[in-house]
Amino acid sequence: MAPGADDIVDVAARFGAEVVVPVAAELDARPNPEDCFSWEIVEAASAAGLRTATLSAEYGGAGIDSLTTARVVEELGRADLGVSVVLAQTLKIAQTLQQAASLEQRDRFLPRFAADPRCLLAIGITEPENSSNYFIPYPEDFRTTATKVPHGWVLNGKKHFISNGNVASLYLLFAQTDPGRGLVEGSTCFLVERPTEGFSIGKVHDKMGERLANNAELLFDDCFVPDENVLGEVSRGFEVLTTFFPASNAYAAASVLGVASAAYDRSVEWTSKRYQGGAYLIEHDSVAADLARMRMLIDAARAYLRQAARAADHRDTEWDPTMGSLPKVFASEVAWEVVTTTLSLHGGHGYMKEAGIEKLVRDAAAFLHSDGANRTLLLKAARFIRDDARQEGA
Ligand SMILES: Cc1cc2nc3c(=O)[nH]c(=O)nc-3n(C[C@H](O)[C@H](O)[C@H](O)COP(=O)(O)OP(=O)(O)OC[C@H]3O[C@@H](n4cnc5c(N)ncnc54)[C@H](O)[C@@H]3O)c2cc1C
């Protein structure tokens, strides 16, 4: 019998507890960011079916839906945010490829992706000059260009901050194909493999948290990509994002909510055994109220992101475009409040690295900025609200 949704979520929870948690602190503490990434974890995730879980059975996956994917990603985030991101990127891009790629592209890329236990996926949109501009969006051109030549395109330029940038084998890469029309109207999404001549990795960023995932610069210097690697239509790359990425924001929310859940568990455990002021901390009313507030925020953020993840698979009846921005804003703000409260409840113990709380604080900070800075996403959602109000008023 094919595994059900609860089975794969259980697999993720066990994988997190048994494979990731025992090594996460030691990997996180390594000074060189490249050493924080673990191929052993990726291979174990492949063996457990987690790397390919969103692929349909036809391509060797479990065919899980977006709601189940969000649950898987949260379980991984509970163990370690970086590991959750490494796999969430891969799971969501695999999901996108199945929907946006032509049959020829699917048959060319997906069997290889499924067969190689180290095959990770990445998406390169952000560049030093353009990031919030593509979320809001502002009519700038991408500085990364693709120039038409016989049988293909030549890429030049640079992306940065790209999750899995230095460890992926296949990339969705956005480049300007129609100069002067702005990045939304004039860019194309390319499938770029590594190695490809003219494509190299620049700096691997040294991050304050989420260290078990690597982020890197992608450098393109006269890199030829064949016509058959255009994903979707030329100069309509953003349709790939808007049509096929609806659950992406919910997955980011789920990853960081995993950190919040881990912090909450630590708070309950600590306050139940720390005795001060003639009682266990949990028996003091102000502390108990903190715990209840954390629980309320986490449950609310989880309900919101799961609603969005479910709606992403039922877009005709349940989707609302603000769901593509706001669940991550809420979950990351919740996570930030929960981890800083957890730090406070641990007192001086929390500040000591040995307690492991400071890692949760550093990790939670990542998603205030990743997958769109929170203010940028609020502005993006506000555009939809304004558009709706105008239509209703018209
Ligand atoms: C851990 C991590 C992983 C990432 N992974 C990827 C990835 O895999 N692929 C990828 O393509 N990108 C990735 N990114 C990039 C990420 O999406 C961008 O960092 C994010 O969009 C913010 O861009 P920025 O840092 O350049 O901020 P900026 O755009 O410079 O914004 C700085 C501040 O100004 C505000 N601001 C910007 N524009 C406006 C405006 N018009 N009005 C009002 N306020 C504004 C922002 O909200 C923010 O507060 C990642 C980033 C991080 C941190």
Q: Same domain, yes or no, for 166 and 92?
A: no
Q: Same domain, yes or no, for 265 and 201?
A: no
Q: Same domain, yes or no, for 339 and 222?
A: no
Q: Atom of ligand 1 at shortest distance to CA of 164?
A: 8
Q: Same domain, yes or no, for 31 and 75?
A: yes
Cβ atoms < 10 Å from Cβ of 244: 23
Residue nearest to atom 28 of ligand 1 (CA): 132
* Residue 24 and residue 212 in contact, taking contact as beta carbons nearer than 8 Å: yes
The structural domain count of the chain equals 3
Q: Atom of ligand 1 at shortest distance to CA of 134?
A: 21
157 lines ligand 1 (CB under 6 A): no
pTM: 0.97
Q: Same domain, yes or no, for 259 and 347?
A: yes
CATH number at residue 229: 2.40.110.10
378 lines ligand 1 (CB under 6 A): no
Q: Same domain, yes or no, for 306 and 374?
A: yes
Last residue within a domain, chosen from 73, 97, 118: 118
Distance (angstroms) between ligand 1 centre and the Cα of 129 equals: 10
pLDDT value of position 3: 61
The per-residue pLDDT string of the chain (394 residues; one tens digit each, 9 = 90 and over) reads 346 788 999 999 999 999 999 999 999 999 999 999 999 999 999 999 999 999 999 999 999 999 999 999 999 999 999 999 999 999 999 999 999 999 999 999 999 999 999 999 999 999 999 999 999 889 999 999 999 999 999 999 999 999 999 999 999 999 999 999 999 999 999 999 999 999 999 999 999 999 999 999 999 999 999 999 999 999 999 999 888 888 999 999 999 999 999 999 999 999 999 999 999 999 999 999 999 999 999 999 999 999 999 999 999 999 999 999 999 999 999 999 999 999 999 999 999 999 999 999 999 999 999 999 999 999 999 999 999 999 888 6
pLDDT value of position 257: 99
> How far is Cα 333 from Cα 253, in angstroms, rounded to an integer?
10
Q: Residues 6 or more apart from 359 whose CB is under 8 A from it? A: 24, 25, 28, 209, 353
Last residue within a domain, chosen from 118, 151, 184: 118
CATH number at residue 330: 1.20.140.10
141 lines ligand 1 (CB under 6 A): no
Q: Same domain, yes or no, for 173 and 252?
A: no
Q: How far is CA 351 from CA 207, 339, 358, 360, in A?
A: 19, 12, 6, 11
Q: Same domain, yes or no, for 128 and 90?
A: no
End-to-end CA distance of the chain: 54
* Residue 150 and residue 161 in contact, taking contact as beta carbons nearer than 8 Å: no
Q: Residues 6 or more apart from 236 whose CB is under 8 A from it? A: 188
Distance (angstroms) between ligand 1 centre and the Cα of 369 equals: 6
Helix (H, G, I), strand (E, B) or coil at 185: helix
Q: Atom of ligand 1 at shortest distance to CA of 371?
A: 17
* Residue 148 and residue 160 in contact, taking contact as beta carbons nearer than 8 Å: no
373 lines ligand 1 (CB under 6 A): yes
Q: Same domain, yes or no, for 14 and 135?
A: no
Which range of residues forms the domain containing residue 153? 122-237
